[in-house]
Structure 1
Amino acid sequence: MFYDDLDKAKNNIEKKIQWYDKKSRQKKMWYILLVVLDIIVSAFIPFATLFIDNYSNTQYIVAFMGSIVTISSGILATFQFHRLWINYRFTTETLKAHRDLFEVNVYPYDGADKAQVLIKNIMLIEAKQNTIWIYNEKNKNNPKKEN
């Protein structure tokens, strides 16, 4: 029974680490993609305006580029990829630290009930992550006013 609990605890934390790591990488990829798109398109708008007098369709290209910047900025603000990337990465690294302590039998994983302690700590870490997520979801459309 004891080894069964140890295997379950190890499998549980590995699955959690993989899930949070995958989500972190996805959010990072979207964040970097949209920020780079924003920078590149924004940088070309002044350059493209130089051709408005020579090419009649340039004004439409500039307007389209401005729309791309607005849309990508709106997506970044709405979906908060940067905040999620950081939160998921923090949770991943916290879980990894607990896994490493568990594997080398260091406090709090140095007792006979180390599997139960690990499961409890995983649940606490996820509860904290969920609390942060709920708080951010409630407040993302109500930014605090500066005095």
Structure 2
Amino acid sequence: MEKEEYMNERLNQQIDWYDDKSIKHQRIYKCWKIAQIILSATIPFAAGYIDSIKVLSVVVGVMGVIVTSIEGILTMGKYHENWIEYRRICETLKHEKYMFLTGTGVYKNEASFPNLVERVESVISQENVNWAALNYEDNTKNGGKING
């Protein structure tokens, strides 16, 4: 595979994929977290009016259930962890790309392209190993159920 082909078909696509996933997980995390914060802050306020507005006791209870459910969704989806990890990988790949393009660091010598490929594939491979380990750990905690 030639340099240009590798840069376009592998490295740039991986950078774009991790960037898109990081942005997606950040948005999901922040939306759910904002909803959780607003509901959590509203519960004590609404609870102060339970004596005068009886239906508020049910509303406050439902709000508590929703706050707890949101936390469960965020924990199960690992949106915060994925956002941070995908951003870290994206920035690491960008760093390698720019060091290669400028011929600096480990990319000063003639074997710079093979070094780039090895380092980029190592980053991607390590992320895949981490993902598999996390899913294996989750799988064993859930009694053998498969996680997607």
Q: Which amino acid aligns with 1:9?
A: Y
What is the match of residue 4 of structure 2?
Answer: 7
What secondary structure does 2:106 align onto? Answer: coil
Q: How many residues align?
A: 139
Which structure 2 residues correspond to residues 116-135 of structure 1 after superposition, within 5 A? 116-135=114-133
What is the match of residue 38 of structure 1?
Answer: 36
What secondary structure does 2:52 align onto? Answer: coil
What is the match of residue 145 of structure 1?
Answer: none
Provide the TM-score with structure 2 as the length reference.
Answer: 0.84
What is the match of residue 86 of structure 2?
Answer: 88
Instruction: Please tell me whether residue 71 in structure 1 is matched to residue 69 in structure 2.
Output: yes
Question: Structure 2 CA distance, aligned partners of 1:129 and 1:86?
Answer: 13
**Gaps in structure 2 of 5+ consecutive residues:** 142-148
CA contact (8 A) 1:9 1:118 kept: no
Identity of aligned residues (%): 29
Instruction: Please tell me whether residue 18 in structure 1 is matched to residue 25 in structure 2.
Output: no
Q: Show CA shifts across 1:38-97 (max 9, x none).
A: 111011101111221222211221112111101100001111111111111110010001
Question: Structure 2 CA distance, aligned partners of 1:21 and 1:98?
Answer: 15
Q: Which amino acid aligns with 1:114?
A: S
For the aligned residue pairs, the C-alpha RMSD in angstroms reads: 1.8
What's the CA shift for 1:107? Answer: 4.1
What's the CA shift for 1:113? Answer: 4.4
What's the CA shift for 1:25? Answer: 0.9
CA contact (8 A) 1:25 1:85 kept: yes
Runs of 4+, deviation exceeding 6 Å = none
**Gaps in structure 1 of 5+ consecutive residues:** 143-147
Question: Structure 1 CA distance, aligned partners of 2:85 and 2:129?
Answer: 12
What's the CA shift for 1:32? Answer: 1.4
Distance change >3 Å, CA 107–CA 9, structure 1 → 2: farther
Q: Which amino acid aligns with 1:37?
A: A
Question: Structure 1 CA distance, aligned partners of 2:137 and 2:28?
Answer: 22
What is the match of residue 48 of structure 2?
Answer: 50
